[in-house]
Structures are given as structure tokens and as C-alpha cells.
Structure 1
Amino acid sequence: MAPVPNLPKDPDDDLETYVGLEQQQAEEQARARGWSTVRSLPPGAIITMEYLAGRLNFEVQDGTVNKSWKG
């Protein structure tokens, strides 16, 4: 059997702190706090639903984060 890879872990972070921030500021803050992947999406974007450890998603409208979630 193949060894289990070392998957990235989600940082211990309060996701609500990103809501209301400008997109660039939120992305920089997320990377500084250890998120390996940061994805910004427009409201209603069609995305895949697979969970990716270490990824933080932002819903961004008019340059401001409205929602954030893991995976």
C-alpha cells in the first residue's frame, strides 16, 4: 500500500475577520496566516465542490469580501 501523503492543514483562523476587507488585503492576510491557496470568486460563481485542505475561498463583490469559507 502506498504511503499517505502529508496533506496541508487548515490554519487556525477566524474566517469572519475577512468579511468586509478589500480583496487584495484579505488575500495577503490569508497567505500571511498560512493558507496555501486563496481563491477569490464573484457572487454566484459555479465552482467544484471538492474539499481542498489549506484552501480559503472568498466571495468578492465590488472589490470587497462578502463571504469566506474553507476548502
Structure 2
Amino acid sequence: MAPTPIPEGQPDDAPETYVGLDADQAESRARGRGWTTVRSLPPGSVITMEYLEGRLNFEVDHGTVVRCWTG
């Protein structure tokens, strides 16, 4: 199967590499790699499902990233 293309406004970065990092360290790394928007959310947050190109989302529990996804 062919790889999924990376949207034009999104850095070539793997979201799974942020899991396990301290939230502040993860945000700093993400911004350094070109993410224009970084959003940290507590577990179980109610969020809208719109996709925003260039955004990286973190689910943060007790200061640690436990889940990360784009959009």
C-alpha cells in the first residue's frame, strides 16, 4: 500500500514520537519542527472534529503526552 501523502502545510513529522515526553518539552519540539499550532488537552476533553492543517494535538495526563495526532 502507498504511504499517505503529507498535507502541504504540515511538517514531515511522526506524531507517535511525542508520546511519553513531558508536555512542555513536546510542545517546544513540535514548534521547532514547524507545527504552527500545538494544542494540549486533558484526557477525555470534548473537542470539535474539524481538521486544521499544521496543528498537532497532545492529550496530556499528569504532565506527560499520552496521545498525539494531527489536525
Larger radius of gyration: 1
> What TM-score do the two structures reach when normalised by structure 2?
0.88
Offset of 1:24 from its aligned partner?
Answer: 0.1
Paired positions, count: 64
Q: Distance in 1 between matches of 2:58 and 2:15?
A: 10
Q: Distance in 1 between matches of 2:48 and 2:14?
A: 23
Gaps in structure 1 of 5+ consecutive residues: 1-7
Q: Is residue 64 of structure 2 the alignment partner of residue 54 of structure 1?
A: no
Percentage of identical aligned residues: 67
Residue 38 of structure 1 is matched in structure 2 by 38
Gaps in structure 2 of 5+ consecutive residues: 1-7
Offset of 1:14 from its aligned partner?
Answer: 1.0
Residue 5 of structure 2 is matched in structure 1 by none
Offset of 1:41 from its aligned partner?
Answer: 0.1
